[in-house]
Structure 1
Amino acid sequence: MYGVSSVLGIEGGYRGFYARNTIPLTPKVVNDIHKRGGTILGTSRGGHITSKIVDSIEDRGINQVYIIGGDGTQKGAAVIFEEIRKRGLKVAVVGIPKTIDNDIPVIDKSFGFDTAVEEAQRSINAAHVESESIENGIGVVKLMGRHSGFIAMYATLASRDVDCCLIPESPFYLEGPGGLFEYIEKRLKENGHMVIVIAEGAGQELLSKIMRKMDEADASGNKLLQDVGLWISHRIKVDPTYMIRAIPSNASDNVYCTLLAHSAIHGAMAGYTGFTVGPRITERQNKVVITDRMWARLLSSTNQPSFVDPKLVVAEKERELQSNGANENNQVTMTQTK
């Protein structure tokens, strides 16, 4: 449509701009990639040396850069855009959201989320079958979600076999009346088995003094999380944390990916730069709202207590109302930055 002569793929994340060769992305090369999981370009953490990246873009004569990834990747794209603008280069920078966590600010849904929830069902089903096979069996399934528990929440709602779902947004305590241990004991007495789904970022405040200091970070600057599943069960029955991100996308994500790609290309070709595509819903990081109806539906599904002080719920509800008054829903984020 636009008469583009060549499309190059950068291998190995940001460091691939200056440390590795490019891959020519022809129609033949990309013809079947939607049927496979993972990424043909590879990925990595860290390696964001802005000056080297922009030097490489300039040296290669690239005039459009499409950066695909999660919230950290999009922040990196913004930095690259600023450096390109500072140098006065005629290069469009476009962000395309892709993370199964569904935690990117502004947009309603990120590519990969639906597929991840669907795959998580298989792990929950396996944990349920295994927990039923032994007396007082507990199946623990740890899912991805550093700061947002969307995968855990939606997988739990879809499964109907989960007795307890723990997410970062909803704090919980272990001992005493209304605590997690009391609820586990109650469910085991009633059913003889139970399934617990845990987002990897849940309960981190309870683990701050165990195994590793909380201020340690990975190569991308993300705080290293304690293994909350291991801590609770001492032996994870099913741990699909990264398995669910390495499978082929489902039909819903395939269609959504196409829409994102078309929006990104049309925006860049129209002269826009410094933007990310996707349906807009909120100005802040997308997180589960524990005072929302969806979380209430989950509590109804699992019959678990909220583990939350009622005063905190009231305060959260007030913050939510204030935030909703300032935001607009169902808009498309494609604004030109000058």
Structure 2
Amino acid sequence: MRIGLLTSGGDCPGLNAVIRGAVLHGIKSFDDEFVGFQRGWRGLLDGDAVPLTRTEVRGLAKEGGTILGTSRTNPIEAPGGGVETVRRVLDDHGVDAVIAIGGEGSLAGAKRLSDAGLPIVGVPKTIDNDLRGTDYTFGFDTAVQIATDAMDRLRTTGQSHRRCMVAEVMGRHAGWIALHSGMSAGAHAVLIPEQRVPMSELFTWVREVHERGVAPLVVVAEGFLPEGFDEEFAGGGFQEDGRPRLGGVGEYLAAQIAEGAGVDTRYAILGHVQRGGAPTGFDRVLATRFGMAAVDLVRAGGWGRMVALHGTEIVPVDFTEALGGLKTVPQHRWDQARALFGR
């Protein structure tokens, strides 16, 4: 078979490991051929393809980013897009199937193409770990580790000055990165989009910790809504898909804590540093297994499905299972973390 690969949406550590796992498994196990469409769905619509051989993927598991590039192009709605365009490009390049590696938006486009009869399978990708149908997505573990390392450093400088430190991490609608990195770093408060927290309660947590002679650490997801706000902080314009670029809630909270809790406070926005660099060992293995399983799914003709992690096993699930809403932090996980806040 001749299989096309593309990476779509936001980048994250592990994308290259998926590409490597798929190409090596396909070539060595089935004598398949591979091409990569550059810049996600945009490259497929433009017919911008490059060959993917064993040479091109050598050593990729440890590399961050994606050698194919990415974009947030919608294959149906974008200029020049549509089912017939995709069908024509696949025919022109002799591609028998496409493995689409992406998040909710990318896989929604893949589902529409599959529903129209095109041979598409998916690999779930979201650094926020908020995609349904899979227990974990690659890139999430790396983001948590990067955030934890940064928070460890913030805590030492905060302790030196008896300051409160606020760390803003990614998480538009789901607070998984904030929750996991905050618990890992021993944060004294974690604020996530799923939970409203009164400022008075936050001030109490900060004061209790500060009065014990400890520098408070507050972790906040970029999509957290402070008391009195109905929209997220978006100070960075808009993305290709029209969504606002979030950021700034950490700065706001630092000012509020300094005034309301009476504790000198500084903030750090980790931003895209969480997306970059080499993936962790866990993410390398998970991404490799996803790539290999995606090839098996192609060979089985499992169109309209994606590979997913259930427990420790990789299984195929329908796109609809992944696209039925975001996987957010459940109440019991928040309650568990909250027991550690403040004193």
Q: What are the equivalent positions in structure 2 for 1:291-310 lying under 5 Å apart?
A: 292=332, 294-303=333-342
Identity %: 28
Kept in 2: contact 1:81–1:274 (CA 8 A): yes
Report the equivalent of 1:328: none
Report the equivalent of 2:274: 244
Cα deviation code 1:256-300 (max 9, x no counterpart): 11221222111111122010110358864211112x1x3333223
Equivalenced residue count is: 288
Aligned CA distance change for structure 1 residues 226 and 141 (closer, same or farther; 3 Å): closer
SS at structure 2 position matched to 1:273: coil
SS at structure 2 position matched to 1:197: strand
Instruction: Specify every segment of 5 or more residues in structure 1 that has no aligned partner in the other structure, as ranges.
Output: 86-90, 305-338
Q: What are the equivalent positions in structure 2 for 1:189-200 lying under 5 Å apart?
A: 189-200=211-222
Report the equivalent of 1:67: 100
Distance (whole Å) between structure 1 residues aligned to residue 61 and residue 267 of structure 2: 30
Shift of 1:248: 1.2
Shift of 1:221: 4.2
What's the TM-score, normalizing by structure 1?
A: 0.77
Aligned CA distance change for structure 1 residues 209 and 265 (closer, same or farther; 3 Å): closer
Cα deviation code 1:163-183 (max 9, x no counterpart): 1110111111224xxx32333
Counterpart of 2:250 (choices 229, 240, 243) is: 229
Report the equivalent of 1:109: 136
Aligned CA distance change for structure 1 residues 167 and 210 (closer, same or farther; 3 Å): closer
Aligned CA distance change for structure 1 residues 209 and 295 (closer, same or farther; 3 Å): closer
Residue 36 of structure 1 pairs with residue 66 of structure 2: no
Shift of 1:205: 7.3
Report the equivalent of 2:43: 16
Kept in 2: contact 1:10–1:17 (CA 8 A): yes
Kept in 2: contact 1:123–1:238 (CA 8 A): no
Kept in 1: contact 2:206–2:342 (CA 8 A): no
Report the equivalent of 1:286: 327
Aligned CA distance change for structure 1 residues 94 and 55 (closer, same or farther; 3 Å): same
Instruction: Specify every segment of 5 or more residues in structure 2 that has no aligned partner in the other structure, as ranges.
Output: 1-28, 256-264, 312-320
Q: Which amino acid aligns with 2:330?
A: V
Counterpart of 1:138 (choices 164, 167, 173) is: 164
Shift of 1:68: 0.6
Distance (whole Å) between structure 1 residues aligned to residue 144 and residue 184 of structure 2: 8
Distance (whole Å) between structure 1 residues aligned to residue 214 and residue 183 of structure 2: 21
Shift of 1:134: 1.3
Q: Bigger CA drift: 91-100 or 202-211? A: 202-211
Distance (whole Å) between structure 1 residues aligned to residue 110 and residue 276 of structure 2: 24
Kept in 2: contact 1:54–1:80 (CA 8 A): no
